[in-house]
Chains A and B, each alone.
Chain A
Amino acid sequence: MPELMMQPDLSAVTASGGVRGAALARWQKSGWPGPRAEAWRYTSLARLSDVDLAPATSLAGGLTGPGALAAAGINAHVIRFENGVVDPAGMSGLPGTVSVATLDGDEPAMAQLADLAPAGHPVSDLSLAVMNGGIVMDVAGAVETPVMLMFEGDDAGASAHPAILVRLAPGASIQIAEWHQSAVGLAAPLIGYDIAAGARLEQVKVQAEGAATTHLAATGVALGEGASIAGFSLSTGGALARLETHVAMQGEGADCQLSAIYMGRGAQHQDITTYMDHAVANCTSNQIIRGVLDDSARGVYQGRVHVAPDAQKTDGQQMSRALLLSRKAEADAKPELEIYADDVVCAHGATVGELDATQLFYLTSRGIPFETARAMLIEAFLIDTIETIENELLAGLLRPVAEAWLAGKETL
């Protein structure tokens, strides 16, 4: 094990064999990535070194807070996790063709999640090993009612390890909102979305964790033939947040739209990392990333697009733009194309800029106070990204979060 890093107390973990045991063994061998790990070059986990966290094992409170209001606003069915432990109340009364069962003990499902999970990511192994139960959600057909996965918890000494496998059967469709707003020490959600042929997932994620929380999300997506995902993440919370998503396009004609906005101030560190694996021909992936950084906040976007030799007619696009509001803010973008096929359309671009002084002058010359003018221009910078979300219901969840950030509010 690497020295000095925070290690969750694993004494209560009984994973001795099978998938969980293997994950635990891998975790115990590799631990947290050290300072020389290339994938973690811009995002150091050294801050976890002094923290002593233990996976939570029991539930305390009930559904509260802005997430509950947001869920009510879109009439979503809520499945709540507190400090990483699932609240069984959300596992019944499910909409339409949705069914939910406990993940732990379901070896094939756990193997599937291990397979979907971002390879080499510490949370992929850790959260599978130390999860408390976990859930597997099956979606058999077209579901109208959105499902919200709500992650709460106020135990600053806890590390939360929700492990979730979501499987969409061929032709199924569902809207899923992930709402992460806790004050746990470490939030380490492991989520796999397996989207079978012709199925469609519309997904948004709100990351609005507390100011001291470290949020390390490992998300894996597999797309079958003609399957599609339209995903959007808005990351405003946490002291350090890394949202890492790996997408495997395994069936021809799969389509992956995966965009994100990150916003940071103070000493926040926001990281969006993606890996698009175009394993077969005729798939499209498109990513629009926008970052807004104030004070001495830092933003990172790493986007790797891999096109296998047989993946002809691949269309892979990624465009990231970061807006720095302060001289001490810093943004790094590392787009990477690894193309082994010859008939592809792939492009990436990354820009880092400041607010336009001429635009600010124009607005203030109309009597609009400087702070308002600034907020208007930041909103303008973000708005076209949110407008790419076709699903109005889900887009509506994000706007208040972005606006609250712009208004300088700590919480929603």
Chain B
Amino acid sequence: MTALLEIRDLHASVGDKPILKGIDLTINTGEVHAIMGPNGSGKSTMSYVLAGRDGYEVTGGDILMNGESLLEMEPDERARAGMFLAFQYPVELPGVGGMSFLRAAVNALRIEAGEEEIDQLGFVKIVREKAKLLGISDDMLKRAVNVGFSGGEKKRYEILQMALLEPTMAVLDETDSGLDVDALRIVSEGVNLLRDPGRAMLVITHYQRLLNHIVPDYVHILADGRIRKSGGKELALEVEESGYAGVDDAA
């Protein structure tokens, strides 16, 4: 069976600075993997490289999705192929209405699949339904994308987009940062609803607490651009007790 996502000896630089220094990771459909690591270890860099952000240059290795390399694909092509990134810092788009943004994204997928564009009324209904589960108000949906949203609202809005786009490979970058306990619960429930045998997730976090809510199948510790240790969910607890220093020593 072909893995959903296969990262092979991935090296990447930002500017001229090497950040990822040889990452190997295989994710199969239906699995939830967690990546933990100290600040600056390269977690966000890895998420951007997966999504294809400009300026994040792959200097070696490969990323395969369903056996095909993503490296020559633009961000929009990757997204339409099933990749989704929930941003650590969602981007504000003043003047871009939330509804037209969501609709443009969903329609881009539909056009790719040879389907008809979604009609406006039907779409509003679907968005409201999914938004309700995430505690997103109608008022928030009417505003410009991420403009005037609190930190927690931005994170919920990322999960709403994921729920609408139904990606096969979802990367969640520090979806827990900036959330209080209640918001963390809402967001985690939203994510858990999207766990599916046809979908894999890569949950990036600095803290173990998110993994109490979104329980991963595998945990990987990233430090200085490499995966230092991999294990089951108990590895997260280990890190919680002894910190990343212990992991680094072991490496």
Residues of A within 8 A of B (CB): 357-359, 361-370, 372-373, 376-377, 379-381, 383-384
Report the count of interface residues on B (CB-CB < 8 A): 30
A316 to B202, CA, bound (A): 54
B109, A380: Cβ atoms under 8 Å? no
Q: Mark B88-131, 1 if CB is under 8 A from A, else 0.
A: 00110111100011001100110010000000000000000000
Contacting residue for B79 out of A367, A383, A384, CB 8 A? A367
Known: A376-B101, A376-B104, A377-B96. A364 touches B91 (CB 8 A): no
A366 to B, closest residue via Cβ: B105
The list of the 4 closest CB pairs from A to B, nearest first, reads: A380-B95, A367-B79, A362-B91, A366-B105
B85, A367: Cβ atoms under 8 Å? no
Chain B residues near A384: list those with CB within 8 A. 94-95
The minimal Cβ–Cβ distance linking B129 to chain A, given in whole angstroms, is 19
Residues of B within 8 A of A (CB): 51-55, 74-76, 78-80, 84-85, 87, 90-91, 93-96, 100-101, 104-105, 108-109, 112, 144, 161, 165
A372 to B106, CA, bound (A): 13
Chain A residues near B90: list those with CB within 8 A. 362
Chain A residues near B96: list those with CB within 8 A. 363, 376-377, 379-380
Chain B residues near A379: list those with CB within 8 A. 95-96
B93, A363: Cβ atoms under 8 Å? yes
A377 to B92, CA, bound (A): 11
Chain A residues near B55: list those with CB within 8 A. 357
A361, B54: Cβ atoms under 8 Å? yes
Contacting residue for A362 out of B84, B87, B95, B109, CB 8 A? B87
A367, B108: Cβ atoms under 8 Å? yes
A385 to B100, CA, bound (A): 19
A157 to B100, CA, bound (A): 45
A378 to B, closest residue via Cβ: B95
The minimal Cβ–Cβ distance linking A290 to chain B, given in whole angstroms, is 11
Most buried by A among B52, B84, B90, B108: B108
A381 to B94, CA, bound (A): 8
A337 to B102, CA, bound (A): 44
A406 to B51, CA, bound (A): 27
B101, A369: Cβ atoms under 8 Å? no
